A and B are shown apart, each in its own frame.
Chain A
């Protein structure tokens, strides 16, 4: 379901708030420096207590899609590769190097030696094969991991430390996919358990922390893995993690999370929305924020609808929206208005802000030119038909409704009537599939630009009914090249085609926002705007 909005935030905790991380803070000109310098030398030991809003009911990284749970289970496993949040570059982790065939169908990973899982077993090519062979059998909760491996034809053991993954089609996104928690490597014994056992009893990984206890809806407790010595090449500390223990408490009420942090009952909290920012200002708390990479929040237009087939109408909608107003009034502080269909933290993002500026006069003249004349009630008409569109949306984030109400007003100002229609979360996928909708609101988090192909290629699901054309060519070509510069150029071309043709109307970026006590240092976002706690310490 390519086009579905981001549901990583729990359905219950609704607020998919966001923020950026230490690493990107500099880039954002934001407030904190959590790098660890300044407050004396980093020290080992201690417990970090982190309050999250929800529990996914599962502690298997390969089956978890909700940020609140990814924060903890990410620490249990290592991945073949890691991704630099600043450059988007893929760097070594469990794999010390890799080769990609020129048509991007075959990926060969050379594993690091001496890596062990917490059950004592060794990391070998066979273990990686066991993992990739098991992923397609994970069932409904494993859709994230399955998507990364879709089209895989075989995983073969070349020698004990070399593994080769072959796909039927060019698949450049797979390299980035190996850096995600979803394709984190578990021990062979762990992989053999049923998906449900892995969910409830946990998994055995080689990560810097091991699972000590999981109490559903209550807490997830991790302890430092002793003897850990195979961290990602981008981490600053070598060897074991600093912290002895990590305790993730499930606290569904946003106000209670904020108060608990402020009163020192916890050290960090997830999902800080605009409403709770004031309570956390001043005092011993820092707000850390980073935009989620991937497709920004926006209006997914059904390009096959008669009104929306006309590029002028789509472009008019694009120019009529005041993105800055929406970002500033509805979303957490620091949220950026969209400057492309991709968020600025996505690799190969291109700044198209000049194509996405507010220009109501231009919107009006485009509609005039398209034959939609202003009517007496302010709504434009053509051949007796009103220019009226319905936006379908789901309540998976508290910001959706207020953002859409603003959009409704902004479009009304240029003579487009908008009706908002709330769907159940489960209704959205079938609706997009059926094509029976005008406009759908959503976003998708993914730190690889290939997400554009999943969303806009007419050869895949094509939920937005984009007409076949040069966009397809660019999207397929970027998936088939290993040349970074060429891929960047192709991805840039695709972003331009989508924005200039207004196939999708980008609105705002999704930003992850965490509240962190000032005594916590080195708590940094990874490339997907989740967290890595190996380098984190309390002082």
Chain B
């Protein structure tokens, strides 16, 4: 087990390094740099002095060869120092730390809603014996996956904020302000949970152990939830791991539509301003969330299904 964890940790570090390197190269390849981006933001007046630009470039180290810049940034990044944002001058780590709670709140609420709504839909669709109802329920997830988040967000705002005036259209204030953005983000996510869970539930219900349970006299509801759902939830769990990454990415759109502060807005702003240190920080942080979630999920499998054992323990399990 220990060897397994160490191996997984090494893999995670590899993913982080790759994310860092690829984003660095892409940003470097883009035309322009953050200094000119910043200077041209206020260009209304007249002159930007090329000498001044050169001096600023030097100050931020953008005049050094790419490899030197890369080594420089990487060296500091492994020590947890991502430098300062070029656009605001604030340390990247504190910018991210400030934005994180808002995004955790949003993605946490969205994930909860997604699992409840998606899971509920899958269970209902597979439990019902009415064919038309099952068909109807099973057609909802593909719809949920295919409508653009941006559009769903605007529709929800139009209906529940502008017309019914139940919720605010923008801002980070309180639980009320969380409802619409979390729901928007939960729709595509929940739809994916529902698709996977419904499929694996249907497969599970055909299995012999379900027959056995029924033969032993277990009620339909009990068979469905205790026996089939438990086994069917494994693929869904894997999907949830992937969805966490998707939720963080989705927050870019949702936070913009609902004017919420958070990692998504920070990301959007950093990319537009070509704020290299900040984009790098966001990428590595996003990758960190992703690998951590998947690591945790891998470690949870054996708890849900005793038949699953991690690789290094295989010998022992054969004994």
Contact = CB atoms under 8 A, between A and B. Distances in A.
Interface string B76-98: 00000000000111100000001
Contacts of A460: 47
Contacts of B154: 253, 255-256
A134 B269 CA distance: 28
Interface in B107-163: 154, 157-158, 161-163
Interface in A93-110: none
A425 B40 contact: yes
A302 to B, nearest CB: 19
B50 to A, nearest CB: 7
Interface string B54-69: 0010000000000000
Interface string B35-75: 11111111111111110110010000000000000000000
Which of B44, B256, B258 neighbours the largest number of chain A CB atoms within 10 Å of its CB?
B44
A265 B161 contact: yes
B172 interface: yes
Given A65-B42, A216-B261, A454-B47, A196 B89 contact: yes
Nearest to B273: A11
B207 interface: no
B45 A250 contact: no
Judged by DSSP, the binding face of A is: mixed
Contacts of B42: 7, 63-66, 141-144
B157 to A, nearest CB: 6
Which of A141, A195, A428 neighbours the largest number of chain B CB atoms within 10 Å of its CB?
A141
Contacts of B285: none
Interface stretch (A51-59, A160-168, A513-521): A51-59
B90 A200 contact: yes
Interface in B236-275: 256-259, 261, 265-266, 268-269, 272-274
Nearest to B87: A57
B165 interface: yes
B301 interface: no
Name the interface size band of chain A. Answer: 35 or more
A280 to B, nearest CB: 12
B44 A8 contact: yes
B168 interface: yes
B31 A66 contact: no
Nearest to A54: B269
B171 interface: yes
B174 interface: no
Which of B36, B56, B273 neighbours the largest number of chain A CB atoms within 10 Å of its CB?
B36
B40 A256 contact: no
A292 to B, nearest CB: 10
Interface string A398-434: 0000000000000000000000000111111110010
B33 interface: yes
A451 B265 CA distance: 35
Nearest to B30: A424
A144 B45 contact: yes
Given A256-B257, A426-B36, A454-B46, A51 B170 contact: yes
B169 interface: yes
Nearest to B48: A1
A258 B203 CA distance: 49
Contacts of B259: 218, 249-253, 256
Given A218-B171, A218-B172, A265-B169, A2 B31 contact: no
5 contacts: A6-B44, A66-B42, A145-B45, A259-B169, A429-B48
Interface of A: 1-2, 4, 6-8, 11-12, 51, 56-58, 63-66, 139-148, 150, 182, 195-196, 199-200, 215-219, 249-253, 255-256, 259-260, 262-263, 265, 294, 423-430, 433, 444-446, 451, 454, 460-461
Given A57-B88, A252-B259, 17 more contacts: A7-B41, A12-B269, A63-B42, A141-B42, A142-B42, A148-B45, A200-B89, A251-B259, A259-B158, A260-B170, A265-B161, A424-B32, A425-B32, A426-B33, A433-B50, A454-B45, A461-B47
